[in-house]
Homo-oligomer: A and B are copies of this chain.
Amino acid sequence: MLQKTVILVLASLLSLVATAQKEDSIAFKKIADNILIHGTAYENLRHICKKIGPRLSGSAQAQKAVEATAKMLRDAGADTVYLQPCMVPHWVRGVKEVGYITLPNGTKYPLNLCSLGNSEGTGLKGINASIVQVNNFEQLNQLGKKGIKGKIVFFNFEMNPTYIATFNAYGESGRSRTAGPSLAASYGAVGVMVRSLASNFDDYPHTGVTIYNDSFPKIPAVAISTNNAIWLTKQLAKNQTLTAYFKNTCTMLPDAPSFNVVGEIRGSILPKEIITVGGHLDSWDLAEGAQDDGAGCVQSIEVIRVFKATGIRPKRTVRAVMFMNEENGGRGGDKYLELALLNKENHFFALESDAGGFTPRGFSLEMKEEQINKIKEWKNLFYPYGVYDFSAAGSGADIGPLKVTGAALAGLRPDSQRYFDVHHASTDIFENVSRRELHMGALNMAGLIYLVDKYGL
């Protein structure tokens, strides 16, 4: 008798689970179909890229993007749209950079280069010095003051092509750009050239932030294209003493006022529990910031739109946030946390899309193990939409600060093979985004938020 009861209970439990899975699968398909047919993320991205364009923190275009995305959030049906004021670094590139290598025969070989973000400039005279190549920090340290003083250091940190996750190669070689200039300055270098952090070979230099260490002089730093870096390496193998010249007039101005842009659907049952979905609104000044990170912004707006359009009423408050200043300061993310603490907000879950609008493959999960396991139970719902990889890893730079609140964090993980072809370069334009790929990302983000809201974590 007991056995029979146990079997009956088990059977009804299993049937409940099956019914719930079927319901969820139907809801997921409703979200997916709506976005694939009616999605506006792609057209919103076109507007941000083509009508506004580059939008570095503190620029007039960044302000335009604030206004445009606030309107997009209202059009998407957000219950409330508001701005969070924050001060941001205001770096300007100045005149177009020029630079060249002087070959032993006197020929000047021009370089495709651009200043690193937040770099100091050389002034109009530029700097001219002999150039010394290092392929890693150990080589720099070995050369020491004797080998570095008065020179321009060429950091040739190639992105390791054998890493399948290109972000790992970026993380490893990226130290040349972030820490390289101050490390070179600590040995008396007068300037720095870094090989662009790119996984393809072309003529476009890739910018990106450098982080000065206040203990050392702030020496000017530029990136050269991967083709230039390959060429220069060959030249230096033949002629150990070459001189390099470059001129840039970039400079850091006083902090400027700017905003995060927020659009909310108020929770129907637990309005004080907040689910954040976001990307960053600022981009480098060289690019349209299509993949980095216009994509993440319009995908986040799309989550609001599809919930409204399909009649999903989340229990919790769902908040799409366009963070300002991810690229060269992270002030938007910091401000978001500051206000969360000040207003004693209850942050339940946050999801960031800042790895491009490519076909999604998974989510990185920065949360407790039992929460990760709970999300993994939903795997079958994502599989038909190309998402299969749920791994414990970092989430996103803008939502990262929220970790102290105890919120569970996640990041969309799209296919990463093409990202560093265009990242921070003038090739990061709307034309290099696929409508279907972008919308596939948005629908999986909406699906995850739907499930997290419905079942909790």
Contacts and interface: CB of A to CB of B under 8 A. Distances in A.
A161 B37 contact: yes
Interface in A21-57: 32-33, 36-37
A386 to B, nearest CB: 6
A164 B415 contact: no
Interface of A: 32-33, 36-37, 161-162, 164, 166, 199-200, 359, 361, 384-386, 388-389, 415, 417-418, 421, 434-437, 440
B440 A417 contact: yes
A429 to B, nearest CB: 13
6 closest cross-chain pairs (CB), A and B: A417-B436, A36-B161, A33-B162, A417-B437, A418-B434, A359-B415
Contact of A386 (B33, B361, B384): B361
A104 B82 CA distance: 49
Contact of A200 (B36, B421, B435): B435
B417 A32 contact: no
A166 B417 CA distance: 20
A297 B219 CA distance: 49
Interface centre among A37, A164, A384 (most CB of B within 10 A): A164
Contacts of A36: 161-162
A164 B385 contact: yes
Contacts of A436: 161, 166, 199-200, 417-418, 421
Nearest to A418: B434
Copies in the complex: 2
B162 A386 contact: no
Contacts of A37: 161-162
A386 B437 contact: no
Contacts of A199: 436
Contacts of A200: 434-436
Contacts of A166: 436
B388 A162 contact: no
Nearest to A383: B389
21 contacts: A32-B162, A32-B164, A33-B162, A36-B161, A37-B161, A164-B384, A164-B385, A166-B436, A200-B434, A359-B359, A359-B415, A361-B386, A386-B415, A415-B415, A417-B434, A417-B436, A417-B437, A417-B440, A418-B436, A418-B437, A421-B436
Contacts of A435: 200
Contacts of A418: 434, 436-437
Given A37-B161, A359-B359, 6 more contacts: A33-B162, A164-B384, A359-B415, A361-B386, A417-B437, A417-B440
A37 B384 CA distance: 33
A415 B359 CA distance: 8
Contacts of A386: 164, 361, 415
Contacts of A421: 434, 436
Contacts of A33: 162
Interface centre among A164, A199, A417, A437 (most CB of B within 10 A): A417
A377 to B, nearest CB: 18
Contacts of A164: 32, 384-386, 440
A388 B388 contact: yes
A417 B434 CA distance: 8
Nearest to A201: B435
Nearest to A440: B417
A30 to B, nearest CB: 10
Contacts of A389: 388
A436 to B, nearest CB: 4
A389 B436 CA distance: 20
A126 B37 CA distance: 36
A31 B158 CA distance: 20
B417 A359 contact: yes
A411 B177 CA distance: 42
